[in-house]
Amino acid sequence: MMLIFYFSNQNAEQSTQTSAWFLQFLPVSMHFIRKLAHFTIYALLGYNTLYMYKNYNVKRYALIALLTCILYACSDEWHQSFVSGRSPQITDICIDTIGALSMILLNLSIIRRKR
């Protein structure tokens, strides 16, 4: 969550420079890099929140983990509305949710397979 907050706190110019750094490794568009970053970082958040709630024996830990990720995605986009040159995007919340959901579902299948 701290890493997400850090990236969201970058102004438009800093954010563009961060995304441009990845372009030297991946020959794709800046738009794709940004959306892939959203998906990936929220997939990691989904993984971490899933196992955190599971280890604390929270009932319905997968659902609570997903709700945590969705709420954090919403708060992250709201936070961006206060940063110079940045604006909240509903599509980013959707991509964030899909990233978290995909990792949660993947790990639920692994957990169930181990049983």
- pLDDT tens sequence across 6-48: 999 999 999 989 888 888 887 788 899 899 999 999 999 999 9
- Average pLDDT taken over every residue of the chain: 95
pLDDT above 90: residue 53: yes
Q: Which helix (H) or strand (E) holds 47?
A: helix 30-55
Other Cβ atoms closer than 10 A to 99:
24
CA distance linking residue 66 with residue 71, whole number of Å? 9
Instruction: Name the region of 60 (left: φ>0; alpha: ψ -120 to 50; beta: rest).
Output: left
pLDDT of 19 reads 86
pTM of the model: 0.92
Determine contact, residues 14/72, Cβ cutoff 8 Å. Answer: no
CA distance linking residue 90 with residue 78, whole number of Å? 10
Indicate the domain borders of the chain: 35-114
